[in-house]
Amino acid sequence: MLAQFSIWALDDPHLRNEMATIRQLLEDEGFDFDMKRMSTTIEGSFEQITSVIGQCHERLSESHKRLLVNITIDDDRA
């Protein structure tokens, strides 16, 4: 299963430090990922994907008051 997600802090458009935090979290969790300027793509089970995106959300919510989270999941079982 593939998931593409983005997390935007609406109270601060500059997310350089946060991108490094998310990158480290994904690496620590052992995910293969492709991080681009607009979104990040990861692969795993539904439970793994939702868990790590939840962790990213929690980490960023520690320093931001409003987050916009977009998630697209490709559940291709063919």
Q: What is the pLDDT of residues 18-43, one digit of tens each?
A: 889 999 999 999 999 999 989 999 99
The pLDDT score that the predictor gives to residue 17 is 82
Q: Over the chain, what HEC string results?
A: CEEEEEEEECCCCCCHHHHHHHHHHHHHCCCCEEECCCCEEEECCHHHHHHHHHHHHHHHHCCCCCEEEEEEEECCCC
Distance from the first to the final alpha carbon of the chain = 11
The pLDDT score that the predictor gives to residue 46 is 96
The pLDDT score that the predictor gives to residue 72 is 98
Phi, psi (deg, nearest 5) at residue 24: -65, -40
* Residues forming beta bridges with residue 6, ordered by sequence position: 70
* CB neighbourhood size of 70 (10 A): 11
Between residues 18 and 73, the one the model is more confident about: 73
What global pTM score does this model have? 0.89
